[in-house]
Structure 1
Amino acid sequence: MADHSPLFVINPALDRASLAAAFAADGRVQIRDVLTEESAAAIADLLANHTPWGISWQAGSDGPHKLRHDAAGALSQTDWQAIYGKLGAAQAEGQFGFIYTQYQAYDAYRQGWSAGPRHDQLFTGINSPAVIDLVREITALPQIAWADAQATLFGQQQFLSLHQDISDQNWLVAYVFSFATVDWAPDWGGYLNFYNDDGDIIHGYRPRFNALNMFLVPRDHNVSYVPGFAPAARFAVTGWFRDR
């Protein structure tokens, strides 16, 4: 029987005033236990066990590339070696680059190639009145109207290099709904890190289960490299809250 229970059910015990004060002070916040335990567990299961993952990557000016599940599965060993060769060369020269596993929930919903109703909720749930109202309250940005969404998985040898989110798409606040399915060790990478103008890390968020990270854009940040010995993957739903 299909599961019709809603995803992204907000935890009613959140201290919204304290969270809003933290965001006002720093322009970023991590909300732990943001969803009900049942809701968070359902999303984590959907991501870990039922999602047709694709791949996204960019190496300097080559990209961005967004491959859906079938196209990613068709990549040969030679293809992968070429991709990682380009990534390594770009990173060695200080160019922007990334590679991570993804399911483009918003694109799939809008373009009609969704994996199913449950995956559609990764987009529609983010845009539910309860979530949008929570974000407006904590960020003090009443003009927020909607958000896009993609499911992401950072596994071994994957990363998102230092950058700022600058776009003409009316991005106001970036978000990362974190659904790490294990107790994440610091040496496994995958941290959302923030930097000052001198290149020092001034704050970092460990991958956690059932946590919402939000920050004003643009600001310098990255997702740190996940080494080959990391035994788990960093699951999340990510995107930007927008005003139109």
Structure 2
Amino acid sequence: MSDIPPLFVINPALDRAAIAAAFAAGGRVQIRDVLTPESAAAIAKLLATETPWGISWQAGSDGPHKLRREAAAATSQAEWQAIYAKLGAAQAAGEFGFIYTQYQAYDAYREGWSAGPRHDQLFTDINSPAMLGLVREVTALPQILWADAQATLFGQQQFLSLHQDISDQGWLVAFVFSFAAADWRPDWGGYLNFYDDDGDIDHGYRPRFNTLNMFLVPRNHSVSYVPGFAPAGRFAVTGWFRDR
């Protein structure tokens, strides 16, 4: 893919020292205008018009399920109604749950079923020396070696409930490259919310276009419910920067 121009081109005007100071102070940061305008527009177009979306969901102990596009399309309306019933029951019981639209960029690249070279770049460009260098500089974590990645789209009636990212896979920093519509309204949901020990939201990031959100793992967070009247999806590329 060396003859294909990169997708993720970092904005050269970023104030890296100020961004690093903000991350050091709070263990999280939102970097606005993180990419060049041309780069952000190209990624947004790829996500909105060229991506074969599947669905991921989990309701309590049932899951996680990662359905590729073909499997999601073959799921009947009755089956979706049953899935949403399970999700509702799990949320009412205070259990972990989620449902969102996704394209598993890392899995597709690794397993050989990607939608094409530009979709492979959703994974490979995040692992470029320039991007990993920016992340190491901002987080002061030189041990970061690589990142996985998936494209995500939170649409109507989708959410990710309160949880912490805890695993044995070397997750150090979670990230969300946001490509939501520039006029995303607060009442459309899809916020990345953080919580204190009393369950209060102590900070929230509105979905924004051309923005990188990063936070240390583990931390209580959620993606708030996208209501049925929201007219546009919350497009993003998400994953974890890892040391193994």
**Matched-pair contact (CA < 8 Å) for 1:44–1:181:** no
Matching of residues 105-184 of structure 1 within 5 Å: 105-184=105-184
**Matched-pair contact (CA < 8 Å) for 1:51–1:115:** yes
Question: Match for 2:20: what amino acid?
Answer: A
In the other structure, the counterpart of 2:224 is: 224
Q: What's the offset of the Cα at 1:4? A: 2.5
Question: Match for 2:138: what amino acid?
Answer: I
Three-state SS of the structure 2 residue aligned to 1:184 is coil
In the other structure, the counterpart of 1:76 is: 76
In the other structure, the counterpart of 2:236 is: 236
Distance 1:57 1:138 in 2: 32
Q: What percent of counterpart residues are identical?
A: 85
Distance 2:237 2:152 in 1: 6
- Normalised TM-score (structure 1): 0.98
Three-state SS of the structure 2 residue aligned to 1:126 is helix
Aligned-residue RMSD, C-alpha? 0.8
Distance 2:243 2:165 in 1: 15
Q: Can you list the C-alpha shifts for 1:134-186, whole angstroms capped at 9, x where unaligned?
A: 00000000010100000000000000000000000000000000001341000
Distance 2:204 2:142 in 1: 27
In the other structure, the counterpart of 2:211 is: 211
Q: Give 4+ residue runs of structure 1 displaced > 2 Å after superposition.
A: none
Q: Can you list the C-alpha shifts for 1:215-242, whole angstroms capped at 9, x where unaligned?
A: 0000100000000000110000000000
Distance 1:43 1:231 in 2: 20
Three-state SS of the structure 2 residue aligned to 1:210 is strand
In the other structure, the counterpart of 1:202 is: 202
| Pairing 1:15–2:15 present | yes
In the other structure, the counterpart of 2:86 is: 86
- Normalised TM-score (structure 2): 0.98
Distance 1:44 1:5 in 2: 16
Question: Match for 1:120: what amino acid?
Answer: D
Distance 1:182 1:46 in 2: 16
Q: Can you list the C-alpha shifts for 1:171-222, whole angstroms capped at 9, x where unaligned?
A: 0000000001341000000000000000000000000000000000001000
Unpaired runs of 5+ residues, structure 2, are none
Question: Match for 1:231: what amino acid?
Answer: P
Q: What's the offset of the Cα at 1:119? A: 0.1
Three-state SS of the structure 2 residue aligned to 1:157 is coil
Q: What's the offset of the Cα at 1:70? A: 0.3
Q: Can you list the C-alpha shifts for 1:76-131, whole angstroms capped at 9, x where unaligned?
A: 10011000000000000000000000000000000000000000000001001110
Unpaired runs of 5+ residues, structure 1, are none
